[in-house]
Amino acid sequence: MLLLPGDLSYADGTQSLWDSFGLLIQSYASSRPWMVTEGNHEREKSHDHQQIEPFIAYRHRWRMPYRESGSTSNLYYSFDVAGAVHVIMLGSYAQFGPHSDQYKWLVSDLSKVDRSVTPWLIVLLHAPWYNTNEAHQGEGEDMRKAMEALLYGGRVDIVFAGHVHAYERFTRIYNNAADSCGPVYITIGDGGNREGLALDFDRSHKSASLSMFREASFGHGQLKIIDRENAHWSWHRNDD
């Protein structure tokens, strides 16, 4: 299946772009499941000073199995893949504080994960919690502070993020330090867009020593689950 951590059509409120994006991908999305979460470009823009539900088009056009996972919002949900992986999709643009519905749902969802049934636990969200690119610095920090301990306690294996138009892979991290029990953090926001690449990385960033690889190129990643203890991640440049 294809996992996409937000910014689908870059419609930015223009409904015809949702339509053309749907036509573009339908041959692929009809043959392989596309599981997505929302990005900032899924937000609707207000017109004539009228308030519009921020993700109304996304919610209606891209219904994900949120009710099936006990969530009250299409902006965050979870599902199992092939009896081996539990995938949690978090909403960077939904409330995430300790008293929020999303936070309470995440606590509940993590408590139900049976690692003897789904030994792999993966999380996707849009705005990265760790990022040495100069683009979108600090935008995921509040969410990290609110939820990182939950993912660490749940022994999440990998956290995928988008938003930054480049590729970056970190070591296992918890609370801004290398930790063998923390998740691997991967920014995979390089799938292509109309804005171009985020070309500049900060070599003196406080997280630079935790960043194992970073490159501003368009591409995609492949995660292959081999067995209960082994998986293989690879990143593929479009230019290759």
Cα–Cα dist 146/64, whole Å:
24
Note if 236 is an active site residue. no
Contact 83/90 with Cβ under 8 angstroms? no
Catalytic residue among 41, 126, 136, 163: 136
State in Å, rounded, how far the first CA of the chain is from the last one: 22
Please give the single-letter amino acid code of residue 184.
V
Surface-to-core class of residue 22, CB atoms within 10 Å of its CB (0-12 exposed, 13-18 middle, 19+ buried): middle
Nearest CA-CA partner of 185 in 162, 154, 217, 216: 162
Cα–Cα dist 125/83, whole Å:
22
Structure tokens belonging to residue 197:
């690449």
- Separation of CA 46 from chain center: 25
Nearest CA-CA partner of 169 in 232, 137, 225, 212: 212
Structure tokens belonging to residue 147:
């939820």
Strand segments (E) across 108-204: 120-124, 158-161, 167-174, 177-178, 184-188
Cα–Cα dist 185/208, whole Å:
13
Do strands 120-124 and 158-161 pair parallel, antiparallel, or not at all (unpaired)? parallel
Which active-site residues does the annotation give? 136
